[in-house]
Amino acid sequence: MPERSPSAARPAAEDAGAPTGAAGEGALIAQGLRYVNAWKGRTVVVKFGGSVLEANGGGTLAQDLVLLKGAGIHPVLVHGGGPEITRVLERLGRASTFVNGLRVTDAETMEVVEMVLAGRTNKALVSMIIQHGGQAVGLSGKDGRLLVARKRQGDVDLGQVGEIQEVHPELLIRLSEQGYIPVVASLGIGEDGASYNLNADTAAGALAVAVGASKFILLTDVQGVYRDYDGERRLISDLRAADAEALIRDGSISRGMIPKVEACLEALRGGVPSAHIISGSVPHALLVELFTERGIGTMLLPS
């Protein structure tokens, strides 16, 4: 399977000495078509953060997903919706409390979480895909027991915040095989039928493993993983799992980036060949990541 070259500084058609003009465009198209052919029949799990939806209304996400499906690739979209949940809670006069990046979710908050994720946000994304000519089906982790969860344990009681116990992707796979793009809200269901609020990064990583994805991509509101080099903050293009774990331990990777990187690491441990953290604000970010030699953002690989 082709991967972007770790040593490539620019796309092939832009390299020094590469053909320019019509010849250069032809070479770039040929390169893209080779990648498209290599990816046919493969599954790509994409996690889309609520912050990206807030910032640019989804950008080219829906269009890219439809193009991927048309090219014979099977995208699965997993989403959160944190900013919208917070806004609805504020309108109801309820403050949001977070512990280590996780929303404290009592019973009333869980009702809002479920309403926003499985309702407004999920159906908005389904509508966007249909508007661009695709076929999409909105699901939550509760449908078909897709994401079975239990109450998250810890020093602080977070309420109905869950951790994933089992993934049952049969319904999702069947829908994808029938030509639909599954759009999954990050909710879980307990063995007793209770609803759980799940971290969307973690849910997406678990799904990537369960469906045997060839690639796991997180679209977020930053360019990727950064590190300080001699006082200058630079984007890390390629990152091995062991190095990522070391950067978490020494604090170079911190705050909201930790769950994203940890989700990528779990996906890699589960057999997904590569995971990527890229900016959702870049036009056609998914296509650039999949079909060019350089790609964008940070690519994580097994150690």
Per residue in 92-150, pLDDT (tens digit) is 999 999 988 889 999 999 999 999 999 999 999 999 999 999 999 999 999 999 999 99
At 27 the pLDDT is 64
Task: Specify whether the CB–CB gap between 301 and 243 falls below 8 A.
Answer: no
How far, CA to CA in Å, does 99 sit from each of 159, 181, 204, 263? 11, 33, 21, 18
Return d(Cα 114, Cα 120) in angstroms, integer. Answer: 10
Task: Specify whether the CB–CB gap between 152 and 161 falls below 8 A.
Answer: yes
Domains defined along the chain, listed by start: 41-301 (3.40.1160.10)
Mean pLDDT of 161-171: 97
Per residue in 13-42, pLDDT (tens digit) is 334 444 556 655 666 666 667 777 778 899
Return d(Cα 91, Cα 288) in angstroms, integer. Answer: 39
At 100 the pLDDT is 81
At 23 the pLDDT is 58
DSSP letter at 117 equals I
Q: Which residues are catalytic?
A: 47, 50, 82, 201, 260
pTM for this model (two decimals): 0.88
Radius of gyration of the chain (CA): 19
